Structure 1
């Protein structure tokens, strides 16, 4: 095993790790808020909105993430330059990068999966707690904000942790749309040094470490907010 190349490529590895973490954080945080809306729409929304939310979740959960990513990057991305004035706008430096399309694709995909998790958790909250909150004079918005959603999130925490880890493992797909994430850096190192296993071992160690970090963080949160049965 030869790891002497690490001293030369560590700045590139660090930059790739930052890209990977950014993709994970952006998709999980924004996707979670979208998922809350989708879950509520499926439970309490009007019939039309309910079917739209269900259709969204079904379509994105039923198709490979790689296809969704390529449709955005090679499909929508190829049409953006045709929008008048877009190339000269301040948005173009962002919209022309593969990172933007990867972040959007990962976020929308994560939201679809997380919406189903939250939908089940919202339905699992005991109705007695919601009725008690209404009896105290809380409005529907207050019940959602103070009782229903917090309890559902506590119930879903173990599953959410698993979804975040799965999302982390999906980030190497960004490599296919020119994003220099950690896997892309490892691929470049393999091309430069002709070393096959060592760069992949470094990437594996990073992903295992980050998985342990995410798992530990969720366990700490679960310990602080235990689910009451």
Structure 2
């Protein structure tokens, strides 16, 4: 094993790790609230809302993430330059980068999967707790905020933690749309040094450490989060 290249590529590895973490944080932070909204739509009494949410989840869960990523980057991304005035706007430096399309694709995909988890979790909340809250005179919105949703999220926390780890493992796909994430850095190192295994070992160790950290964070949250009543 030859790791003599490590010091020379350390700044680039740190940058790639930062891009990987940024993609994970953005997609989870934006995707989870969206997942809650989609899950509530799927539980709605209105057929139109249910149909819209079901279609969203079916499409995004039924197609490969790589295909979705390419549809955004090579499809929508190729149309954006045709929008009048967009190239000269302050948004163009963001919209012209692959990182933006990767973040959007990962967020929408993550929301679709977590919406399915969150759709089932409220159904597991004991009906007695909901009825007790209503008996105390809580309006439907307050029952949702203070009883139903917190209990459902707490119940689903182990599955949510697994979803975040899966999202972490999906981030190397961003390499295919020119994002310089950690896997892309490893690929560059392989091209420069002709070493195959050593860069991949570094990437593997990083992903394992982050996955362990995620699991520990969620275990602490699960142990400490109170159930509001």
- Bin for the TM-score computed over the shorter chain: over 0.9
Structure 2: segments with no counterpart, 5+ residues? none
Distance in 1, matches of 2:5 and 2:45, equals 56
> Where does residue 185 of structure 2 map in the other structure?
185
Deviation at residue 31 of structure 1 after TM alignment: 0.5
> Deviation per CA, 1:39-59, whole angstroms, max 9, x where unpaired?
000102511011010111011
Equivalent position of 1:172 in the other structure: 172
Q: Kindly report the root-mean-square deviation, in angstroms, between the aligned alpha carbons of the 2 structures.
A: 1.0
In the alignment, what sits opposite 1:7?
7
Q: Where in structure 2 are the equivalents of 1:131-210 lying within 5 Å?
A: 131-210=131-210
Map of 2:107 onto structure 1: 107
Counterparts of residues 1-229 of structure 1 (less than 5 Å)? 1-225=1-225
Count of aligned pairs between the two proteins: 227
Question: 1:118-170 CA deviation, whole Å, 9 max, x = no partner?
Answer: 00001111111111111112111111111111000000001001111100000
- Cα distance in 1 for partners of 2:137, 2:82 equals 54
CA distance in 2, matches of 1:102, 1:152: 29
Q: Any idea what the Cα deviations from partners look like across 1:107-126, whole Å, max 9, x if unmatched?
A: 00000000000000011111
Which secondary structure state, in structure 1, belongs to the residue aligned with residue 43 of structure 2?
Answer: helix
Report the CA distance between 1:224 and its aligned residue: 1.5
For normalisation by structure 1, the TM-score amounts to 0.97
1:72-130 residue CA offsets vs partner (Å, 9 max, x unmatched) = 00000000000000001111000000000000000000000000000000111111111
- For structure 1, the 5+ residue unaligned runs are none
Runs of 4+ residues over 3 Å off in structure 1: none
Distance 1:32 1:196 in 2: 36
